[in-house]
Amino acid sequence: MKLKTIEKICCPFDKADIELTVITKDIDDNIIEGFLSCKECQRIYPIVKGIPIMNPDEYRELELEKPLLDQWKKHLKGKSVENFRLTAMKES
């Protein structure tokens, strides 16, 4: 995914601006892996092999996304993901 693409997309649910977190890029600065997060509803959308996954919640499967989210834990800035939304980490 090219960085310029971010300027053209918004959250499909509330049309709010999204924030990009880049995990890996290729030599041309295209985003290979990362995630987008909505500033309003806190939904998180993974970027896998350069493709942002921005499907409605009912068409997503958290179990399929969970391995990536676990791998990206350090990039979530102390937050966890519940129902495809970033939330504050619960204390054990």
Give the pLDDT score at 4.
85
* 1-49 residue pLDDT tens: 888 888 889 999 999 999 999 999 999 999 999 999 998 999 999 999 9
- What is the 3-state secondary structure of 4-54? HHHCCCCCCCCCCCEEEEEEEECCCCCEEEEEEEECCCCEEEEEECCEECC
The predicted model gives 53-76 an average pLDDT of 86
pLDDT digits (tens, 9 = 90+) for 71-84: 888 888 888 888 88
Q: How confident is the model at residue 90 (pLDDT cuts 50, 70, 90)?
A: low
